[in-house]
C-alpha cells in the first residue's frame, strides 16, 4: 500500500528511529547476528544511511525511541513478564553500562534529535513521553524505521494509528529475526493500520525539497 496523497511537511512529520543500540546494529552485538540475514536482504543499514541525512536536511525532527536497558533486578516482582522481556533478561540485551546498551554511533541520536523515555516491551508510546513530545510540536505524521519490524515497529505504529497519527512504514529500513516475520509485518499486518507502506526510494521522493522528475 502506498498513500500517494501523503504530504510529509517538515513541521508536521517525525522520523521515529527505533532501538538503534549496538546490540542490534553493531557487529558483535548480542542481537546483531539474529537480525543480520533480514537486514542484509532489506538493505537496512545502507537505506538508513540514505534516510537519516535526507530527513535531517528536510528539517524533519528525528525521535529516537529506545527499548528499556537491562538492569539487574529491574523485572523483580513482575507478575506477568512477557516472553520478549524474558528473552531480554536471559540475554541481558541492551545492558545499562555496557557497550551493547549504548547507541550505535552512526544510527543513534545526533545533535538536535530527541531521545524519548524507554519503552519496557514493544510499544514506543506505552509508559513513555513520546505522545507528549509529538503533540507539543503539533506533529501528526510518523515515519517508522529501525528494529524490529514485527514487534517494536509494529506495536508503535499500531498504537500511533489508534492515537490518530498518520503512520508510514518503510519496508527496507527495518529488519527482524526471520523472513516470515518481515512478511507478516509488512504484507499481512501492515495494511491493517499503516496509512502508507513505502520503500526508501519512495519515501525520499516525497520529502520536502526532493527533486521532481
pLDDT tens across 153-191, in order? 999 999 999 999 999 999 999 999 999 999 999 999 999
pLDDT tens across 2-51, in order? 554 568 999 999 999 999 999 999 999 999 999 999 999 999 999 999 99
Check if the beta carbon of residue 171 is closer than 8 Å to that of residue 199.
yes
Place of cell 547476528: 33
Which contacts (CB < 8 Å, 24+ apart) does range 152-155 have? 152/18, 152/19, 152/65, 152/67, 152/119, 152/122, 152/123, 152/124, 153/18, 153/185, 154/122, 154/185, 154/189, 154/190, 155/121, 155/122, 155/123, 155/124
Going from the N-terminus, what domains does the chain have, and what CATH number goes with each?
10-206 (3.40.50.850)
Amino acid at each position: 500500500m502506498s498513500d500517494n496523497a501523503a504530504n510529509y511537511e517538515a513541521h508536521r512529520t517525525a522520523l521515529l528511529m527505533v532501538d538503534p543500540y549496538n546490540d542490534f546494529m553493531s557487529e558483535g552485538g548480542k542481537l546483531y547476528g539474529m537480525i543480520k540475514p533480514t537486514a542484509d536482504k532489506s538493505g537496512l543499514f545502507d537505506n538508513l544511511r540514505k534516510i537519516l541525512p535526507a530527513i535531517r536536511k528536510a528539517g524533519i525532527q528525528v525521535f529516537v525511541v529506545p527499548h528499556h536497558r537491562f538492569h539487574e533486578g529491574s523485572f523483580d516482582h513482575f507478575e506477568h513478564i512477557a516472553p520478549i522481556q524474558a528473552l531480554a533478561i536471559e540475554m541481558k540485551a541492551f545492558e545499562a553500562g555496557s557497550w551493547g546498551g549504548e547507541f550505535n554511533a552512526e544510527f543513534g541520536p545526533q545533535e538536535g534529535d530527541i531521545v524519548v523515555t524507554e519503552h519496557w516491551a514493544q510499544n514506543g508510546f506505552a509508559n513513555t513521553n513520546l505522545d507528549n513530545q509529538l503533540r507539543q510540536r503539533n506533529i501528526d505524521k510518523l515515519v517508522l524505521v529501525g528494529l524490529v519490524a514485527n514487534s517494536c515497529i509494529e506495536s508503535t505504529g499500531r498504537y500511533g494509528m489508534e492515537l490518530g497519527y498518520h503512520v508510514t512504514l518503510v519496508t527496507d529500513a527495518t529488519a527482524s529475526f526471520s523472513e516470515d516475520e518481515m512478511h507478516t509485518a509488512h504484507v499481512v499486518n501492515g495494511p491493517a493500520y499503516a496509512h502508507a507502506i513505502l520503500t526508501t526510494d519512495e519515501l525520499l521522493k516525497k520529502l520536502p525539497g526532493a527533486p521532481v522528475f
